[in-house]
Chain A
Amino acid sequence: MDVNIQMFLPEIVVAFLAFAILAADLLKPRGERKSLARLGIIGSLVAINVLVLTADISGTTLSGLFIQDGVSVFFKILFLLTGIFILYMAQEYEEKIKNFKGEFYALILFAVLAMMFLASSNDFISLYVSLEFLAVTLYILACYTKEESVSVEAGLKYLITGALASGVLLYGITYLYGATGSTEFSQIKLALNGKNFSGFLAIGLILVVLGLSFKIASIPFHVWAPDVYQGAPTPITALLAAGSKAAGFVMLMRVMFTALGSIRPHWVLFISVISALTLLFGNLAAMPQKNIKRMLAYAGIGSAGYLLMGIAAGNTLGSGAIMFYLLTYLFAIAGTFLAIVIFYNSEGSDSIDAYTGLSRRSPILAATLFIGLLSLAGVPPLGGFIAKLYLIAAVVKEGLIWLAVVGVLMAIAAMYYFLLVIKRIYLWQPKNDTPIKVSPINKALLYSINIATLVLGIYPGPFTDWVMAIAKVLF
């Protein structure tokens, strides 16, 4: 067996870091654990450096289970950045969790590690094992506040739907294996060359897509999202929104483009219909929501619909657009959720009513929500607009005009419900107008996230060139 240890050096750093946090947690006396989060953040920055330094070593290792290419490097940087934001949010949120233990930070890093392995999986075996690694850590994190009954309820619902979805996924993998005789993506691609489309292949294809729809929260396995987003601790909601969704899409891209790319005519309609239904459901169901986390859950389902447009397009433009969308999505989610955490720490509420007149109480929180939510809605000149534009261009290029029309209409719907929140924040009078304190570090971080979203929208050139260049390796 060939083992090229340099390829997974960043993963080794993150694994070591997570175990170090677990050990340091035992050595520290009871009380504050914020220094462990700082250790995690510094360690993640080291891992990003190691990743960038070893990025030019590409290829497969561990008998084809593990692949390092441009796409995996992009997603690993994305996941490590997500991890840094989430660790920062978690240490802001620490006091809200009773019996807080340092293992919370270690589990977040384990989730990041699992997502990094997912980005590099080149075989259904490594895909399944890292998928379950991610899922099990997220089940524990979602119900981490054991004293709150909504949190354990969220955890249990997440676990049951998650296990059901992974069962469906595995059953599909079984049939793909039966049809092609291999579980490695490049071998499957070879086996499909010049082969007739068989019944086994059809069953496998449908079930694999349905099983993967759980991680990205698209129809039909979307039902967990609203409850889990609402019930989980807020930093974990952000991790589910930004990290878990990106992990789902890197899997989908590898499976649909690398392994099953040659039978695209057979799955393009299926994916397009799922995409359109997800767009319609997510954006229409978000309108009447009264809890901001629940509303963002439905908006997240809508986003999964947009990202699936890129899968349906099945070209370099589409997959590059998916990566760019996930990049802008990360910054929008990080800003919005950091603002939600700071607001919750001060007010103790997540309901949209409580946000009334926020601009008079804390201009920086209001501005962050303004930029974050409008970037999610896709308003120019913010990052989310460029990303949606590319996705719509990708499906138009493949002749799926009807899907593009649904996408444009639902962007307008998204603008409607996000603008309702923004109207409440900016135009309504607050019930009490005591200012909300935001610490200087939080302010600096919120400013830089907002600037990042603006830069991605105004000057996207270098970033889109980068993602379009690396998207080629998938085909």
Chain B
Amino acid sequence: MIPLSHYLILSFIIFTIGIAGVLLRRNIIIVLMSLELIFNSINISLVAFSHFLQSMTGRLFVVFTITVAAAEVAVGLAILVAVYRQRKTVYVEELNEMKH
């Protein structure tokens, strides 16, 4: 049987990749993809904890996180389309109209 720590390490690696993607990538579409990675890493650890603790709550939680993450990214893409229509760009560093 695979021990809990393996799942947690996998989840941590995906989480770190996601955080790095959000902080370092310049293309907003890739930033949104990295956010999805973060949410999926959380699902892995929630299900792993749920299995090893013999409790249903974690599995229940995953259903909510998947739904909510989908709603969040849908709104994110809609806002990105609005930004693209305004600025004709999807790069983070070109969004700097408000400096003082």
- Which residues does A use to contact B, with CB under 8 Å? 124-125, 128-129, 132, 135-136, 139-140, 143, 146, 149-150, 152-157, 159-160, 163-164, 166-167, 170-171, 173-175, 177-178, 181-183, 226-227, 230-231, 288-291, 294
Contact = CB atoms under 8 A, between A and B. Distances in A.
Contacts of A167: 15, 18-19, 35, 38-39, 42
Given A164-B35, A167-B39, A178-B45, A152 B79 contact: yes
A225 to B, nearest CB: 12
B55 A132 contact: no
A68 to B, nearest CB: 22
Interface of B: 15, 18-19, 22, 28, 31, 35, 38-39, 41-42, 45-46, 49, 53, 55, 57-58, 60-61, 64-65, 68, 71-73, 75-76, 79-80, 82-83, 85-87, 95, 97-98, 100
A332 to B, nearest CB: 24
27 contacts: A125-B61, A125-B64, A128-B65, A129-B64, A132-B68, A132-B72, A136-B75, A139-B76, A149-B86, A153-B95, A153-B98, A154-B98, A155-B82, A156-B95, A159-B75, A159-B76, A160-B31, A163-B73, A167-B18, A167-B19, A167-B35, A170-B42, A171-B42, A173-B61, A177-B46, A177-B53, A178-B53
Contact residues of B: prevailing secondary structure = helix
Q: Is the interface of A mostly helix, strand, loop or mixed?
A: helix
Contacts of B41: 171
Contacts of B65: 128, 170
Contacts of B95: 153, 156-157
Given A153-B95, A160-B22, A291-B100, A177 B42 contact: no
A175 B35 CA distance: 19
Contacts of A174: 42, 45-46, 49, 58
Nearest to A140: B75
B42 A143 contact: no
A146 B79 CA distance: 9
A289 B100 contact: yes
